[in-house]
């Protein structure tokens, strides 16, 4: 069975006001101190990490904290690890009078601070205001593939289905104190990078690598790690990395995105082996589908991945579940996916929850602090 791992970016906030706080370095130092003090304590075998790999990492801005799970084959252990690291992040932040919130943008006004580091400073100089405004928190899913050739075949075939993941994960309606009218405004901010977004069909691993080399050779990018395709070959692991989702308010939604991502990869790999070609939608249509998903979330029509025509969001989610049904069923994830997706259609995504909380409390600060509580619930 294919392994799946998750990277989540969390927002560091003042636990009273909800305002973002540039505390990532202090939180990382606190986490390292706690880890050193616990050395020698009993560890589970599945907690092993390579000494070079840290659970928590800096991101672009000081108001963010990222963690990465181990590769997992079952959703129960992935759920346990996501909850564990969210809880640990909250503890380390709490020791400094702060909290973490799984919000994909800050509802409150903020002036992001770019973290120290040659790469981040280069990006700030190169991209200017685009870099300075990138306080956005995403959820990236890594799914194992057998080869680069299989990975590129997967990337070619999952393209039209990725906007549905944008809609399901949508969790960023507010931007600098205002309602953006989007469900995932993070997606729109992220799209300001010149190297981000959907891709044309590559057809082969050789063509993919040629495109990446050509992009780096332009000098616009600092390195191949800055190739921000919606789905790409990881430059560190033997995986396809799917990068479209907002960080999700509820961990159950994170697990849904992970389960669907693995099922999409498996389904695409089978289609490739069977000689079934990818859908031929061009980038222009894919951009419109992504925009529609970011705007609507699960509140309005989406573009159907096959027809690219406006379709009720419930029908589009059902189409995705039908498309990957066999892979979900064989992995034991079908009931989980159906139940969680149905819950999102009924109760709303993180974007709906944020708007409902604001309507109930009348305060962005109160809404953010409640979201911080829900992050580790």
| Nearby residues of 348 by Cβ (< 8 Å), 6 or more positions away | 297, 298, 299, 356
Give me the percent of the chain exceeding a pLDDT of 70: 95
- Contact predicate 156/108, CB 8 Å: no
| Nearby residues of 63 by Cβ (< 8 Å), 6 or more positions away | 11, 12, 13, 20, 21, 22, 23, 24, 106, 110, 112, 113, 135
- Contact predicate 26/377, CB 8 Å: no
Residue 55 confidence (pLDDT): 86
Angle at the Cα of 20 from the Cα atoms of 16 and 24, rounded to 5 degrees: 110
User: Half-sphere exposure of 27 toward its Cβ, with a 13 Å CA cutoff?
Assistant: 31
Report pLDDT digits (tens) over 32-88. Answer: 888 887 765 444 434 434 333 368 999 999 999 999 999 999 999 999 999 999 999
Residue 34 confidence (pLDDT): 81
How many angstroms separate the CA atoms of 341 and 329, rounded? 15
Does residue 176 carry a pLDDT above 80? yes
Q: Helix or strand or coil: residue 12?
A: strand
Domains and CATH numbers, the chain: 4-375 (3.30.590.20)
* pTM score over 0.75: yes
Report pLDDT digits (tens) over 183-229. Answer: 999 999 999 999 999 999 999 999 999 999 999 999 999 999 999 99
Both tokens of 163, joined, read 């906007």
Nearest to 58 by CA among 14, 120, 100: 120
The pLDDT of 125-139, averaged and rounded, is: 96
């Amino acid at each position: 069975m294919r392994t799946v791992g998750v990277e989540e970016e969390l927002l560091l906030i003042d636990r009273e006001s909800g305002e973002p706080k540039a505390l990532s370095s202090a939180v990382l130092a606190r986490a390292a101190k706690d880890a050193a003090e616990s050395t020698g304590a009993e560890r589970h075998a599945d907690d092993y990490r390579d000494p070079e790999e840290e659970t928590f990492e800096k991101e672009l801005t000081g108001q963010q904290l990222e963690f990465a799970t181990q590769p997992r084959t079952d959703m129960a252990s992935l759920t346990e690890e996501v909850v564990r690291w969210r809880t640990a992040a909250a503890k380390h932040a709490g020791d400094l009078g702060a909290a973490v919130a799984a919000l994909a943008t800050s509802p409150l006004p903020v002036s992001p601070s770019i973290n120290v580091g040659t790469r981040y400073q280069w990006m700030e100089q190169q991209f200017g205001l685009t870099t300075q405004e990138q306080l956005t928190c995403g959820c990236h899913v890594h799914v194992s593939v057998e080869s680069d050739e299989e990975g590129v075949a997967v990337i070619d075939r999952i393209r039209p289905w990725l906007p549905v993941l944008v809609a399901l994960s949508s969790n960023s309606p507010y931007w600098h104190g205002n309602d953006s009218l989007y469900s995932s405004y993070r997606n729109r901010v992220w799209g300001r990078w010149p190297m981000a977004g959907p891709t044309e069909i590559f057809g082969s691993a050789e063509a993919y690598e040629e495109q990446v080399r050509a992009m780096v050779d332009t000098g616009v990018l600092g390195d191949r790690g800055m190739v921000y395709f919606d789905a790409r070959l990881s430059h560190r692991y033997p995986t396809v990395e799917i990068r479209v989702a907002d960080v999700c308010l509820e961990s159950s939604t994170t697990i849904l995105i992970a389960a669907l991502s693995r099922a999409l990869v498996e389904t695409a790999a089978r289609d490739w082996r069977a000689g079934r070609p990818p859908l031929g939608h061009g980038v222009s249509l894919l951009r419109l589908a992504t925009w529609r998903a970011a705007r609507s979330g699960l509140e309005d029509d989406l573009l159907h991945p096959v027809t690219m025509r406006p379709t009720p969001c419930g029908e589009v989610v059902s189409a995705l579940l039908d498309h990957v049904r066999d892979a979900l069923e064989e992995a034991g994830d079908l009931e989980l996916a159906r139940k969680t997706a149905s819950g999102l259609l009924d109760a709303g995504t993180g974007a709906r929850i944020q708007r409902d909380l604001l309507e109930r409390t009348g305060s962005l600060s109160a809404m953010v602090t409640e979201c911080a509580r829900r992050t580790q619930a």
